[in-house]
Amino acid sequence: MSEIRKAHIAVLLTNFFFAANLSLVKHISPSLVGAFGVNFFRVGITLLLFWILWAFSDKSARIDKKDIPRFVGCALTGVAINQMLFIKGLTLTSTIHAALLMLSTPILITLFALLWLRESFTLFKGIGLALGIGGALLLILSKDASGISSVSGDVLILINAISYAIYFILAKPLMTRYQPLHVIRWVFTFGFLLILPFSWSDVVRINWEQALFSQVLSLGALVFFGTFLTYSFNTYGLKHLGAGITGSYIYTQPVFAAIIAALFLQEQFSLEKVVAASLIFSGVYLVSRKK
């Protein structure tokens, strides 16, 4: 099998795992562990696995001192704020809402690139931004028939997407000077130190004796498949396919998330969700459109 085909499979699995994360989190939080405690396991164990991989390689772990503030900024936006608000928001809203709102990330990245990096503004980008933001607002303000979603949960997911978009802008220069996996390793290292004070109280309150086997299994899957393999596979995809093709697979996440949520959490699509999804999909397409 060619490296290109392997990369496509890896990126597809990455987005399937990301979508599965939404339902896995619902199964374990807050019933087994608090929202912030989930991040302790996700970030902490994944960080340990990344450093174990490095121990068996012959590559240097060094980073330049001048880059440390940028690494800390990436850790703050890409791990601390991003992960904590994502898990907390997900416990308050539906998985379908979360998946669709996360689709706004490419739109937000385009917006920040226009404001900070002074990238050229086009009519298509303007229309795409309007459609995407309109779809996100419609989703947040629409009522969920199942009563699962909430405005506060949706807002936290949206803030998480904004934080990740800022992380993407901050990390872009680092990706040109270091290997992507090396950047992620250090971002997770600094990020774990930042989330530790907030997550430790949730960890010590876990009652392992009353935990269901399915919950322990879900936590393990969330860490290994939903975090470690997703970041590793995504890095592999970036290396062989480039950012454009790898990023386009984000369209599959809401599809996977909706199927998994319908099968295991009995969540349903509504007319408002379909309209909002159409607006967000159209917005992402237009802001990503090349001449």
Residue 42 is predicted with a pLDDT of 92
98/81 Cα distance (integer angstroms):
16
Residue 266 is predicted with a pLDDT of 66
Residue 149 is predicted with a pLDDT of 57
Residue 218 is predicted with a pLDDT of 93
Residue 139 is predicted with a pLDDT of 64
| Full-model pTM | 0.78
* pLDDT (tens digit per residue) in 154-182: 888 888 888 887 887 788 788 888 888 88
247/138 Cα distance (integer angstroms):
24
From first to last of its 291 residues, what are the pLDDT tens digits of the chain?
Answer: 778 888 888 888 988 998 888 888 888 988 899 989 999 999 999 999 999 988 887 777 789 989 999 999 999 998 899 889 988 888 888 777 777 777 776 677 667 666 766 666 677 777 777 777 777 677 666 665 555 557 788 888 888 888 887 887 788 788 888 888 888 899 999 999 999 999 999 999 999 998 999 999 999 999 999 889 988 888 788 777 766 667 667 777 777 877 787 777 766 666 776 777 777 777 767 766 655
112/197 Cα distance (integer angstroms):
30
Count structural domains, the chain. 1
Half-sphere exposure at residue 231, Cβ-oriented, CA atoms within 13 angstroms: 21
Using an 8 Å Cβ cutoff, are 152 and 92 in contact? yes
Q: Which residues constitute the domain of residue 27?
A: 3-288
